[in-house]
């Protein structure tokens, strides 16, 4: 079938709106009509050429919501008409990782996903007979996409697509980093670096668990107002701190953060996030994604003296299990999403969404199909 998609032909170039061809779902796959998709910083990161797994031409996008319109042979858990959120972290419930219950990083289709292909090693998208690659197994910047059944979360039908698409990445990543990965407890002091689409959800998660001080750090002063609405108690703009930022944060937290989160993708900031943690027990969680060739460093003494460094992907959430629950939290007003969706765009306007992010003017832009 013909579908409308924003195609990334080359790194560093704007997306191009094209009519491309999409083959139907094969065994174990479903065809989804996309209703809405958010634009995450990771899409911009891959489009920039900094992603070691970036591959072109591709259809980017991994924060969608839509409706199943057709299922391939053998699909049991989904049917046409189901409302769904595509998952870039699948949950097969059979692989070593899923059955370990130690991680959400299902490994069953990770290899082909990283190559921009469906599990059988081929692409469903093409243009003039030439394959176009999938992205993060989702390719939500198209009005139809094909997904493996194990990478689809079925959600309730009364949830608005243009809001809950954000649960496909940003909301779950931020809140999950707090609840599922760091397991922050009530009364903890938390420092969040980067108050964009992810960091605001970390703040929201910290507030949910009853954290004490919730300190937000961002170079963009415009972030302060909304972060306070989500529960931030103190705002620090590094450009206004006299002297060392880490020392300032340690003082503000009475000896160091119990938990810190890096939500930028800057390896220098990752070091600050670790080093502002409390001696003996502070845990720093890396959420931000850094470019090819970049590495983190610190004095090993920071770890010897009890600080711990860890990372999180998709907030540690098991998508098919946790995403429908998080949709319920939203529908029950236990979490907020609407204020963070600052811009609604059409597919034709998608490059504007990337520009708004670059200029620091949006939290989340959502494309509605
Ligand atoms: P965003 O662009 O919305 O937000 C980034 C924020 O960081 C902005 O507010 C910006 O002003 C701030 N910032 C930039 N440089 C800074 C600095 N040196 N000091 C302080 N603040 C600074 O991006 P986002 O969508 O929130 O994504 C954040 C990061 O998380 C990206 O690296 C993205 O790729 C990554 N990410 C990771 C996962 C995961 O599963 N691990 C999921 C989603 C996104
Ligand atoms: N492809 C990159 C890494 C990108 C990355 O870390 N992706 C996160 C999700 S970001 C969502 O906005 C993730 O889930 N990683 C785990 C995984 O298996 O991809 C690289 O460095 O090669
Ligand atoms: Zn994302």
Question: Tell me, what's the pLDDT at 166?
Answer: 98
CATH number of the domain encompassing residue 256:
3.40.50.720
Distance, in Å, from the CA atom of 245 to the CA atom of 202, rounded to the nearest integer, reads 20
Whether residue 298 sits in one domain with residue 155: no
Q: Structure tokens of 315?
A: 């907030």
Q: Structure tokens of 249?
A: 């944060």
Which of 312, 327, 350 is the C-terminal boundary of a domain? 312
- Residue closest by Cα to atom 8 of ligand 2: 313
Q: Is 141 exposed, middle or buried (0-12, 13-18, 19+ CB in 10 A)?
A: buried
List, for residues 38-88, the tens digit of each pLDDT value: 999 999 999 999 999 999 999 999 999 999 999 999 999 999 999 999 999
Q: Do the domain assignments include residue 326? A: no
Q: 229: part of which helix (H) or strand (E)?
A: helix 223-229
Q: Do the domain assignments include residue 142? A: yes
Question: Tell me, what's the pLDDT at 294?
Answer: 98
Q: What is the whole-number distance in angstroms between the Cα of residue 176 and the centre of ligand 2?
A: 16
Whether residue 125 sits in one domain with residue 9: yes
Where helices occur in 23-167 by DSSP H, the ranges are 41-48, 96-100, 110-114, 161-164
Question: Tell me, what's the pLDDT at 2?
Answer: 98
How far is residue 157 from each of residues 67, 83, 217, measured CA to CA in Å?
9, 6, 37
Q: What is the DSSP string of 303-341?
A: HHTT-EEEE-SGGG--HHHHHHHHHHHHHTTSS--GGGE
117 CB within 6 A, ligand 2: no
Which is nearest to 173 in space by CA: 313, 362, 63? Answer: 313
Whether residue 195 sits in one domain with residue 47: no
Q: Do the domain assignments include residue 322? A: no
Whether residue 272 sits in one domain with residue 142: no
Q: What is the whole-number distance in angstroms between the Cα of residue 265 and the centre of ligand 1?
A: 6
Q: Do the domain assignments include residue 319? A: no
Q: How many domains does the chain have?
A: 2
Q: Do the domain assignments include residue 209? A: yes
Whether residue 75 sits in one domain with residue 35: yes
- Residue closest by Cα to atom 15 of ligand 2: 313
- Residue closest by Cα to atom 5 of ligand 2: 289
Q: Do the domain assignments include residue 332? A: no
Whether residue 232 sits in one domain with residue 131: no
How far is residue 251 from each of residues 43, 221, 247, 256, 293, measured CA to CA in Å?
36, 21, 6, 7, 33
Instruction: Identify which of 38, 41, 53, 181 to mutate to test ligand 1's pocket (most ligand atoms within 8 A of the CB).
Output: 41
Which is nearest to 168 in space by CA: 52, 37, 262? Answer: 37
Question: Tell me, what's the pLDDT at 324?
Answer: 98
List, for residues 13-31, the tens digit of each pLDDT value: 999 999 999 999 999 999 9
Question: Tell me, what's the pLDDT at 234?
Answer: 98
Which segments of the chain have a pLDDT < 70? none
For residue 220, give every residue at least 6 positions away whose Cβ sits within 8 Å of its Cβ, in sequence order, or none: 195, 360
- Average pLDDT over the chain reads 98
pTM passes above 0.95? yes
Q: What is the whole-number distance in angstroms between the Cα of residue 197 and the centre of ligand 1?
A: 7
Whether residue 260 sits in one domain with residue 210: yes
Distance, in Å, from the CA atom of 177 to the CA atom of 198, rounded to the nearest integer, reads 10
Boundaries of domain holding 155: 2-168+337-368
CATH number of the domain encompassing residue 110:
3.90.180.10
Ligand 1, residues at Cβ distance < 6 Å? 40-42, 45, 169-170, 173, 193-199, 217-220, 223, 238, 263-266, 269, 287-289, 312-314, 357, 360
> How crowded is residue 57: how many other Cβ atoms within 10 Å of its Cβ?
18
Question: Tell me, what's the pLDDT at 286?
Answer: 98
Question: Tell me, what's the pLDDT at 293?
Answer: 96
Question: Tell me, what's the pLDDT at 348?
Answer: 98
**Surrounding residues of ion ligand 3, Cβ less than 5 A:** 40, 42, 169
Whether residue 247 sits in one domain with residue 347: no
Distance, in Å, from the CA atom of 200 to the CA atom of 325, rounded to the nearest integer, reads 20
Whether residue 285 sits in one domain with residue 179: yes
Distance, in Å, from the CA atom of 109 to the CA atom of 219, rounded to the nearest integer, reads 38
Whether residue 211 sits in one domain with residue 70: no
ipTM for the complex?
0.99
């Amino acid at each position: 079938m013909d579908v409308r998609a924003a195609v990334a032909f080359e790194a560093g170039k704007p997306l191009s709106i094209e009519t491309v061809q999409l083959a139907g779902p094969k065994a174990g796959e479903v065809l989804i009509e996309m209703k809405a998709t958010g634009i995450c910083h990771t899409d911009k990161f891959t489009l920039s050429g900094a992603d070691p797994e970036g591959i072109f031409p591709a259809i980017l996008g991994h924060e969608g919501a839509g409706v199943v319109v057709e299922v391939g042979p053998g699909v049991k858990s989904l049917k046409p008409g189901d409302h769904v959120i595509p998952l870039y972290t699948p949950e097969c419930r059979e692989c070593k990782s899923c059955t370990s219950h130690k991680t959400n990083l299902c490994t069953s289709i990770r290899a082909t996903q990283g190559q921009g292909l469906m599990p059988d090693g081929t692409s469903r998208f093409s243009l003039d007979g030439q394959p176009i690659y999938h992205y993060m197994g989702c390719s939500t910047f198209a009005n139809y996409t094909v997904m493996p059944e194990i990478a689809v979360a079925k959600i309730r039908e009364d949830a608005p697509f243009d809001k809950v698409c954000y649960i496909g990445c940003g909301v779950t990543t931020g809140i999950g980093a707090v609840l599922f990965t760091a397991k922050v407890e009530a009364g903890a002091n938390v420092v969040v670096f980067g108050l964009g689409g992810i960091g605001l959800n970390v703040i929201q998660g910290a507030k949910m668990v009853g954290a004490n001080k919730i300190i937000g750090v961002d170079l963009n002063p415009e972030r302060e107002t909304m972060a306070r609405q989500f529960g931030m108690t103190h705002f620090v703009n590094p450009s206004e701190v006299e002297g060392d930022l880490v020392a300032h944060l340690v003082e503000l937290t009475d000896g160091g953060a119990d938990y810190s989160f890096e939500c930028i993708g800057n390896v220098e900031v990752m070091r600050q996030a670790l080093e502002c943690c409390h001696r003996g027990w502070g845990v720093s969680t890396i959420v931000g994604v850094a470019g090819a060739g970049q590495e983190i460093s610190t004095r090993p003494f920071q770890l010897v003296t009890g600080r711990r460094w860890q990372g999180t992907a998709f907030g540690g959430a098991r998508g098919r299990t946790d995403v429908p629950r998080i949709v319920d939290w939203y529908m029950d007003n236990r979490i907020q999403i609407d204020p963070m969706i600052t811009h609604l765009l059409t597919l034709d306007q998608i490059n504007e969404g990337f520009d708004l992010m670059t200029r620091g003017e949006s939290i989340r832009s959502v494309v509605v199909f």
